[in-house]
Each structure stands twice: as structure tokens, then as C-alpha cells.
Amino acid sequence: MSSESDTADEAVRGTCDDASICKRFAVSVGYWKDPYMQYFVRQAKERKAPEINRGYYARVQGVSQLLCAFLKKTECNCQIIKLGAGLDTTFWRLKDENLLPKKYFEVDFPAIVSRKLHNIKSKPPLSKPIMETHNGDSLLIDAYSLDSARYSILGADLRNLKDMEEKLKKVGMDPQLPTLLVAECVLVYMSPEKSASLLKWAGDTFPTAMFVNYEQMDRLLSNGWEAADAWDMIRVYSSLPQNDVARIEKLEFLDERELLEQLLLHYCISWGTKDSLHLGLAEITF
Ligand SMILES: C[S@@+](CC[C@H](N)C(=O)[O-])C[C@H]1O[C@@H](n2cnc3c(N)ncnc32)[C@H](O)[C@@H]1O
């Protein structure tokens, strides 16, 4: 790889910190509960603007609603693959809520995975829940991957599909199981050709699946998905439980609502489904 693309990849990895710091800050103000984020990132030194916090609130709650709907439809008899997961803490939340899928996989660049694993190894509130869900053979953990009974974290490049698929298969990914793939602010950092190949790979590999994507695009139908929909974040925000929206709107004074609306309008959550088991996945919406 050229040093130019090395530098570009390093900048992409840096976005993991931005996302985690913003999430940590919003959690500290009370937008949503996440007792695990504190073990991955230090509290931000400066406050984040209220519209940024509300934007993250809509993003996290929106993705979470579709994820929970998928778990409900499949009765947790499924697998989840979080692409470009960064320091995401969803595994721990699902465990606390007794909503774990059969297996939860995460993929990110090896350098990010290695940081995540370092935190997991050194912080019992992170490692204990993984041990509690682990049974059978000893848990495998090295610098760039973790494999336990219910949770695998893999260092791989989403642009190298063959290598990623091999790694996922090695840790028990089952293409026949209903599969939820989630990419939260990830595809935008790949070239259009590479992100289209990833969508197509997912569409070709899993006969019963849903792909949830948070950002500014919707190319699911042209890449092998049977049904797809996209909602801009204003629509998502106004469809979230309004008692909770009223609660978070009291947390901080928002000077200019137009700023929040502009920000929300720039992003969307799109999702696509394939449903060979006729589970009714195309019915999932907000
Ligand atoms: C903006 S961060 C989002 C992290 C997480 N999904 C979240 O929302 O908190 C983008 C993540 O995608 C990862 N990523 C981007 N391109 C990737 C690639 N080609 N291979 C693996 N990971 C990638 C980055 O390393 C980073 O962790």
C-alpha cells in the first residue's frame, strides 16, 4: 500500500475517536444510557454543541430501534455483524437486556481492534460479561482478534472481502442464519466501488438478512437486496418515542433549531432486506 493511502486510512481510523468521544459526551449529559463507553474513551474536555448531541441521539436510537426490531422478528435466533464497529458497546447492552443474538461479530481495522481488545483485557466490567456468556473451549484472544462463544471481534479491511469472509467463517459465521449487518457511518469512508462490492457481497452471501446503514446514501436495491427504504434523520427523530425526545430536549438549551434540522437532513438511515425464510423482514420499519 502506498504511504498516501496509509495516511488516508489513518485519517479514517481517526473518525472512530471522533464518534466515540461524541457518544461519550452525549451519554454523560444524559441523552441515553451507556455504562460501558467510559471504559473506552475519556470524557471530552470541551462540551459538544447541543445539535451534535441530539444528532448522535437520533443516530444511536434510530439504529438501535431497527436492531431491536430485527432481534424481535428473529427471536434472537440470528447473528449480527457490525461493520466498522469502532469502540461500539452494543454487545454489552444486549447482554444486559438479555437480547443477545446467537453470535455477535464486529469488524474494524486491526489497529482499532487492537485498542479495543486492550481495553477489554484490562477492564473487568468489559471482560466479565464476555466470560459469562462464554462456554466450552478456552476463549481465544490475541492482539488483533477475539473469539468467544457469543462475541467475536476481528481485525480486517472491509475492502478485502475474501479475507474478511474467511476470518468471519473461521469464528463461526453461518450464512444460513438470519443476519443483521450494520454499518454506522462507515461506507462513506470507502470508495463507491468498494462500498457497492460490500453491499453486494452481503446480499449474495446471506439469503435471510437485513442491512442497516447510517449515512447519506441508499444503493441497496442495485446491489442485490430485495426491498429497501431510507428515512432522513428528521423523520427518524420525529418517529422516536416522543416522551424520550421531550426528556432529552430538556437536557440542554438549543438556540437555533434550524441548525439541528440542517444537520439531521444531511443524514439518513437506510435499510434493505432479503427474506428467504419469510420472517416478514420487509415489514421492519420505524
Ligand atoms: C465514524 S467511525 C464509526 C464507528 C462506529 N460505527 C460508531 O458509529 O461509533 C468509522 C469506523 O469505520 C472503520 N472503517 C472505515 N473503513 C474501514 C475499512 N475499510 N475496513 C475496516 N474498518 C473501516 C473505521 O476504522 C472506524 O472505526
* Of 174, 164, 229, nearest in space to 198 by CA: 164
Q: What integer pLDDT is reported at residue 90 of this predicted model?
A: 98
**Dist CA 172 CA 162 (whole Å):** 16
User: At residue 118, what is the residue type?
Assistant: H
Per-position pLDDT tens, the chain of length 286: 556 778 899 999 999 999 999 999 999 999 999 999 999 998 878 899 999 999 999 999 999 999 999 999 999 999 999 999 999 999 999 999 999 999 999 999 999 999 999 999 999 999 999 999 998 777 889 999 999 999 999 999 999 999 999 999 999 999 999 999 999 999 999 999 999 999 999 999 999 999 999 987 688 888 889 999 999 999 999 999 999 999 999 999 998 899 999 999 999 999 999 999 999 999 999 9
- Into which CATH architecture does domain 3-283 fall? 3-Layer(aba) Sandwich (3.40)
Using the Cα atoms of residue 52, residue 55, residue 61 and residue 66 in order, give the sign of their dihedral. negative
What local confidence, expressed as pLDDT, does residue 137 receive? 73
Take atom 24 of ligand 1 and give the residue whose Cα is closest: 13
Cell 496509509 -> residue: 6
Q: Where are the domains of the chain?
A: 3-283
The ligand 1 atom at the shortest distance from the C-alpha of residue 182 is: 6
The one-letter amino acid code at 8 reads A
Q: What is the reported pLDDT for 2?
A: 58
Question: How distant, in Å, are the alpha carbons of 130, 194, 198 from that of 188?
Answer: 31, 10, 12
Minimal-distance CA residue to ligand 1 atom 4: 86
Task: Write the CB contacts of 32 (distance below 8 Å, at least 6 apart in sequence).
Answer: 26, 57, 60, 61
Q: Which long-range contacts (CB under 8 A, 24 or more apart) does 237-245 make?
A: 237/54, 237/58, 237/62, 237/264, 239/286, 240/58, 240/61, 240/62, 240/65, 240/286, 244/61
What pLDDT does 3 receive? 67
**Checking DSSP bridges between strand 268-275 and strand 208-215, what pairing results, if any?**
antiparallel
Rounded distance from Cα 36 to ligand 1 centre (Å): 19
* pLDDT the model gives residue 138: 75
d(CA 89, ligand 1 centre) in Å: 14
Ligand 1: distance of its center to the CA of 223 in Å?
A: 21
Ligand 1 pocket test: pick from 23, 186, 188, 233 the residue with the most ligand atoms within 8 Å of its Cβ. 186
Q: How far apart are CA 226 and CA 131, in angstroms?
A: 38
Tell me the per-residue pLDDT of 62-116, one tens digit each, with 9 for 90 and over: 999 999 999 999 999 999 999 999 999 999 999 999 999 999 999 999 999 999 9
3-state secondary structure the chain: CCHHHHHHHHHHHHHHHHHHHHHHHHHHHCCCCCCCHHHCCCCCCCCCCHHHHHHHHHHHHHHHHHHHHHHHHHCCCCEEEEECCCCCCHHHHHHHCCCCCCEEEEEECHHHHHHHHHHHHHCHHHHHHHHHCCCCCCCEEECCEEECCCEEEEECCCCCHHHHHHHHHHCCCCCCCCEEEEEECCHHHCCHHHHHHHHHHHHHHCCEEEEEEEECCCCCHHHCCCEEEEEEHHHHHHHCCHHHHHHHHCCCCCCCHHHHHHHHHCCEEEEEEEECCCCCHHHCCC
